[in-house]
């Protein structure tokens, strides 16, 4: 996808350039992190976009500590908290994300970021352009993106659960196995033949008994 920020570049002022450009890189699960490397590489092109728009390389910072952390769960996402804190301290001129509404999959966190960004004059940039949360139309658009993202996640979970239930009803659902067990082609389950894995798991259980 070609990014065109030319129409939005007028929103960038020297005041924004004096502060950091934060690039948020995120994928929702460890599996995505392992198997979808192209997504990370694509998101990292935003580093070059920030430099093209005028940010000095020393003022460009990448936040990727939440890779593999779903925004839908209850687990802590330290990088998101650090990002909001940096914005609140007035250190950030713009937050870039490939799809910035995916920074948070619930509107509470999304609007928290938008409120702080509007208060401190921080811009929000994604593949559609650059938005200023202080402007009514931009704020409305960013709010809609957050609402649509939350709805999309709800529908995805519904489809996933419906598909799993359908497999259960047909007797085809295969429960993921815990570490140390493997499933053979005939669906039988055995211990992992890797002796090192067996040794480590045995050691864990023996230490637990102690």
Tell me if 60 sits within 8 A of 51, measured CB to CB: yes
In this prediction, residue 110 has a pLDDT band, given cuts at 50, 70 and 90, of confident
Burial class (CB in 10 A: 0-12, 13-18, 19+), 91: middle
Task: Assess whether 28 carries a catalytic annotation.
Answer: yes
Q: What is the pLDDT of residues 132-166, one digit of tens each?
A: 999 999 999 998 888 887 777 777 778 878 888 88
Of 8, 24, 28, 166, catalytic: 28
Considering the domain 9-152, what is its CATH architecture? 3-Layer(aba) Sandwich (3.40)
Segment (H or E) for 54: none
Q: What is the pLDDT of residues 21-59, one digit of tens each?
A: 999 886 555 555 555 566 667 778 888 999 999 999 999
CA distances from 80 to 95, 104, 110, 158 (A): 11, 8, 10, 26
* pTM above threshold 0.75: no
> What is the predicted pLDDT for the residue at 1?
47
Would you call 50 helix, strand, or coil by DSSP?
Answer: helix
> What is the predicted pLDDT for the residue at 30?
55
> What is the predicted pLDDT for the residue at 2?
47
Q: What is the pLDDT of residues 124-137, one digit of tens each?
A: 998 888 999 999 99
Going from N- to C-terminal start, the domains of the chain cover 9-152, 177-210
């Amino acid at each position: 996808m070609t990014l065109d920020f030319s129409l939005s570049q007028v929103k960038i002022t020297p005041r924004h350039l004096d502060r950091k450009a934060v690039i948020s890189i995120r994928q929702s699960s460890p599996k995505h992190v392992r198997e979808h490397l192209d997504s990370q590489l694509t998101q990292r092109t935003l580093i070059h976009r920030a430099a093209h728009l005028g940010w000095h390389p020393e003022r460009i910072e990448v936040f990727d500590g939440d890779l593999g952390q779903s925004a839908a769960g209850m687990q802590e996402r330290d990088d998101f908290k650090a990002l909001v804190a940096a914005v609140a301290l007035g250190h950030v001129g713009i937050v870039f994300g490939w799809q910035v509404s995916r920074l948070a999959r619930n509107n509470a966190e999304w609007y928290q970021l938008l409120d702080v960004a509007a208060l401190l004059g921080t811009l929000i940039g994604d593949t559609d352009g650059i938005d200023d949360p202080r402007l009514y139309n931009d704020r409305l658009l960013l709010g809609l993106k957050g609402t649509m993202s939350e709805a999309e996640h709800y529908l995805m979970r519904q489809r996933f659960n419906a598909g799993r239930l359908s497999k259960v009803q047909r007797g085809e659902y295969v429960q993921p196995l815990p570490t140390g067990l493997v499933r053979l082609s005939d669906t039988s389950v055995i211990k992992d033949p890797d002796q090192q894995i067996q040794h480590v798991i045995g050691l864990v259980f023996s230490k637990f008994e102690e």
